[in-house]
Amino acid sequence: MKQVLQNFKTGELKVEEVPAPIIRPGFVLVRNHYSLISTGTEGGTFKLGQMSLLGKARARPEQVKKVMKVVRTEGVMTAYQAAMRSLDMPVAFGYCCAGEVIEVGSGIDDLRLADLVACGGAGYANHAEVVAVPRNLCVQIPQGVDLRYASFTTLGSIAMQSVRVADVRLGENVVVIGLGLVGLITAQLLNAAGCKVFGIDVNPGRVQFALKHHFCRDAATRDAGNLQALVTSFSGGYGADAVIITAATPNNDPIILAGELARYKAKVIVVGRTEMTAPRETYLFKELELRTSLAYGPGTGDPTYEEQGHDYPIGYVRWTENRNMAAFLDLLATDKLQLEPLVTHQFEIEQAAEAFALVTGQTPEPSIAVVLSYPKLQKPEAAPERIKLHSTNGSYVKQPSSVVRVGVIGAGSHAINAIIPTLTNLSDIQLTGIASATGVRAKALGSKYNFAYCTADAQDILNDPQTDCVFILSRHDTHVSLTVAALEAGKHVFVEKPLAMTETELKQVFQAQRKTGLNVVVGFNRRYAALAKKLKFFFANRVQPISVTYRANVGYRPPQHWLHDPQQGGGVIIGEACHFIDFCHWLIGAPPTQVAAFMLNGADQGVINQDNVHLTLAFADGSLATVTYLSVGDASFSRERIEVVGEGGLGILEDFRSLLFARNGLKRGKRNWITQDKGFAGEIGEFIDSVRNHQPYPIPFEEYVLSTLATLESLNAIQFNQLRPIELERLVN
């Protein structure tokens, strides 16, 4: 299918052929008829992509801070490479579209094939021929509503939410600052609500347009010398009851102006991208309320609402995203809004570059709403295609038996920055297929790293007879099902941590590996780091137990982060602390036998308790390991610090970049200033070699199972507040 994408490094915008998305539970597949370009949000992103690297850095200082954090903990080269790879990933545009349902996911019983729907949501309602949208972000279109106008629904919901936040009443005087697309829709909604509207814009043409079509009762340009007097007269001498700012500007001029035009105790609502520094004297002495209106309404950014489909009860939240969208469509169906005058241009999807040049001002022609149209098919079908990228015919002719054919499932940041670049540095491998849920990243990575094909369907990788092994790099909830399916398909498996999120899942994958005898490697890469190996060697041949303290200063993640989702992420203990538990298991070299765990008790003080734990593990040789997983520390300090004490020696490994030894009064150490080695190359190299040589992987699969079981029991120890045994035998029976 065709989709609009921008290369964020070069700024070039293209319409590319990418795999169509596949259906998921709680989602619908929609074949687009129209999509609307957001002049403000998408236009701003497009302009940002065309800036130089220095310009991007100046425009996004928060991203620069993230890069600098990586520099401190992982080294300059690691940070630079990660930043460049991130810029290489295409940006998908669009969040307003309308089309026809071509497939319905499980759990949805109120939509059917051929239903016409309006869709919203960044990352979902893209400028693409086919989109996969969660149920709460699509609304059935009333009969008689033109689909071209229905594609306005998302932007209309943004405007509608701003009116709701303003909480205006019949007959009130409202000023709208910014008469772009959202501002003009906002003005119409205010008219429909019985308000009197005064419009302001820097563009005289927009002011005349609003007056010509009666969107505003009165309007003026920002530079009108008597602007305050005009609004005072318009409002009968009182000033505005509410001011809604829909303008996008890098300064706080709209905020200053709003304060001057508002009456005593009025409301100022910010919708557009504007600096929100309010002059103290104006806002304080007028007792003005400064409010913000976020996107389409309640539910925005909440994964339980948007992705999992949990609605808010109407008695508690009257107007959600979905209900705002439905209300906007109802206004269209009853002819309360005029959208035809707003549609100044329409382009076919193949002409998207011309459309974006228009909305960003590169083409000097006035525009308001710019719509993209899509080809109409007589028989719409959902057909996720596998796209051929590079021919592999003739490759490795000299030594065909030494070539390992590799498929990849998942294209997240870990795949981009760690796994795939490491794979491509190996010799005698052939990259067959790569799959990602949307297909966009699969296409980008497949093209960059010479994969034979890309797809949105993981089954294409699993069913491919030309693939010897599979790297499973998708989200946590898919690991077990994909691992078992790959083993049953006769493929060796490299699966990212966690191996499983429950003991039942762990037993399932354990038995599947035993049945097939194929290699299963879990992405516990820290075992293979060069400095980690030196640390283990320092304590080799010991006869006494050792003490290991592993401090992980991981940084704060908000509660809505996907890692905290019990179904998708499993929580930070399962999703991340497993790394540190496995490292202690490997370093000590004896099976873990029991675990005790405690959380910080600071929920009332803003602490996420389960993100701040002390885990103490006992091992069969008498050794002890304490893993402190903390999100309340200073992110500028080292992320991981391992301290080992035993037999008169002490070793400290920090961020896998510096190592210090001490024994008998003698100290020595090593530090990597430029890069960080976390063991990816060694781990992946050994896995590929084991597949190539048809040999068992050097680490028995039972070790990974024990580390995972120790992780699961750590979580149980927290939940049940008791010492938990770690017993591999439970999985055998």
Helix or strand or coil: residue 345?
strand
Mean pLDDT (the chain) is 91
pLDDT tens for each residue of 85-120: 777 888 999 999 999 999 999 999 999 999 999 999
Q: Do domains 2-152+302-373 and 157-292 have the same CATH topology?
A: no
Residue 279 pLDDT exceeds 80: yes
Extract the tokens encoding 518. 């194929």
Buried b (16+ CB within 10 A) or exposed e, 677-710: bbbbbbbbeebbebbbeeeebebebbbbbbbbbb
Domain ranges of the chain: 2-152+302-373, 157-292, 401-523, 527-675+694-732
Extract the tokens encoding 79. 């940070």
Which whole-number Å values give the CA distances from 43 to 37, 93, 115, 316, 358, in the listed order? 8, 10, 31, 36, 10
Q: What whole-number distance in Å separates Cα of residue 318 and Cα of residue 298?
A: 9
Residue that the structure tokens 């520094």 belong to: 277
Residue 544 pLDDT exceeds 80: yes
* Mean pLDDT (whole number) for 560-588: 92
Contact (Cβ atoms closer than 8 angstroms) between residue 186 and residue 155: no
pLDDT of residue 384: 55
pLDDT of residue 363: 87
Contact (Cβ atoms closer than 8 angstroms) between residue 514 and residue 539: no
pLDDT tens for each residue of 64-79: 777 677 766 777 777 7
Residue that the structure tokens 């930043």 belong to: 83
* Mean pLDDT (whole number) for 708-719: 94
Question: Could you give the count of Cα atoms lying within 13 Å of 731 in the half-sphere of its Cβ?
Answer: 26
Confidence of residue 397 (pLDDT cuts 50, 70, 90): very low
- Quote the strand ranges of 154-298, DSSP E: 173-177, 196-201, 218-221, 240-245, 262-270, 289-292
pLDDT tens for each residue of 236-276: 999 999 999 999 898 999 999 999 999 999 999 999 889 99
pLDDT tens for each residue of 689-704: 999 999 999 999 999 9
Q: Which CATH architecture has domain 401-523?
A: 3-Layer(aba) Sandwich (3.40)
Residue that the structure tokens 């405690």 belong to: 598
Residue 395 pLDDT exceeds 80: no
pLDDT tens for each residue of 509-540: 999 999 999 999 999 999 999 999 999 999 99
Under CATH, to which class is 2-152+302-373 assigned?
A: alpha beta
Q: CATH for 527-675+694-732, among 3.90.1150.10, 3.30.70.260, 3.30.360.10, 3.40.47.10?
A: 3.30.360.10
Which whole-number Å values give the CA distances from 721 to 303, 505, 573, 589, 598, in the listed order? 30, 23, 15, 27, 8
In degrees and rounded to multiples of 5, residue 585 shows phi and psi of -60, -50
pLDDT tens for each residue of 408-445: 999 998 999 999 999 999 999 999 999 998 889 999 99
CATH 3.40.250.10 for domain 157-292, yes or no, is no
